[in-house]
Amino acid sequence: MADQFRGVYAIPPTPFTEDDQVDVESVRKCVDFMVRAGADGVVAPVNASEGPFLTDAERKQVVETIVEQTNKRVPVVIGVSGVSTRHSVELAKVAHAAGADALMAMPPYVKHPNADEVPAFYETLARATPLPIFIQNYQAPVGTPMSAQLVARLMREIDTISYLKEETQYAPQMMTKIKELAGDALQGMMGGMAGRHMLDEYARGACGTMPACEVTDAHAAVWQALESGNENQAREHFRLLLPLLDYEAMYSVAVYKEVLRRRGVIKSARVRSPGSPTLDEGNHRELDKILSALSPLLTADQPQPARA
């Protein structure tokens, strides 16, 4: 595979002010933090960015801000998943006009297409822009899980679809199957799910990972050790990272944002996603301990203990 995109492609959240407006200043600070922390690319607005809960005007604002602030220091992949094919096409046009380097899309995520309709979605999206497209193969209920055979078919039949973000059940095994079936049509595949399976995915030929950005420096330390051939060091770094990834699996965006708030990157940990948990004092005490143990890998800056 010829990996045009490679490494840790970090996902910023969408920071909000206390009155629920997009905090543009904090968006810019997220971009600078990610680059400083060793990100090889930026990906937004997607699930970890609360992308489905942004208005189209807010998405446009976030996309343009991220591309402008990144300023070609690293590639930018813009998520264009929408509620319909037309919606994704319009989001793709915004991303292209803003200067994105690539797109990433799930099939429509409210009323899901069946396997016969999925190819038409990606064909229409590919005709709308010349940018390379990542297929995001994501679990239900938000995602439309696709078989290895279908993903490989899309890559063989649509020229600009050559990349994959795989995060369905048994993702590492899916990567192996898709790689075998797609052959040279697959240019690169990345893992998701916060990088929890990064070691296995790397061994199977992944060209990168797309985690949320709150500890980009820790993910980068693991990746750089893998790239240098030092698997023992990568596993030791990953051992330090795993408790945070485990905690995030339960509390999701609430933890992403609180860690970034503690690190001085965003002003507020406000979450917009309906049904999101609120961290209580016990959560904050546990997070203190997790971040203290992880601190050797948090080289971009040091998080502050407890909540202000």
Q: Flag whether 175 is in a domain.
A: yes
Q: Flag whether 298 is in a domain.
A: no
* Mean pLDDT per 10-residue segment, the chain (308 residues): 80 97 98 97 96 96 98 97 97 98 95 92 97 95 93 97 96 97 97 95 97 98 98 98 96 97 97 94 97 96 55
Phi, psi of 102 (to 5 degrees): -160, 165
Helix, strand, coil abundance in the chain, percent, nearest 5: 50, 15, 35
Contacts of 21 (CB under 8 A, 6+ apart): none
Q: Flag whether 37 is in a domain.
A: yes
pLDDT on residue 308:
43
- Give 88-106 pLDDT, tens digit per residue: 999 999 999 999 999 999 9
pTM score, two decimals? Answer: 0.94
**Using alpha carbons only, what angle is made at residue 192 by residues 223 and 302, rounded to the nearest 5 degrees?**
55
pLDDT on residue 26:
98
CATH of the domain at 92: 3.20.20.70
What's at 33, amino acid-wise? F
Q: Flag whether 296 is in a domain.
A: no
The total number of structural domains in the chain stands at: 1
Phi, psi of 299 (to 5 degrees): -85, -15
Q: Flag whether 199 is in a domain.
A: yes
Q: Flag whether 194 is in a domain.
A: yes
Domain limits for position 21: 7-214
Contact, 118 vs 143, CB < 8 A? no
Q: Flag whether 15 is in a domain.
A: yes
- Give 148-163 pLDDT, tens digit per residue: 999 999 999 999 999 9
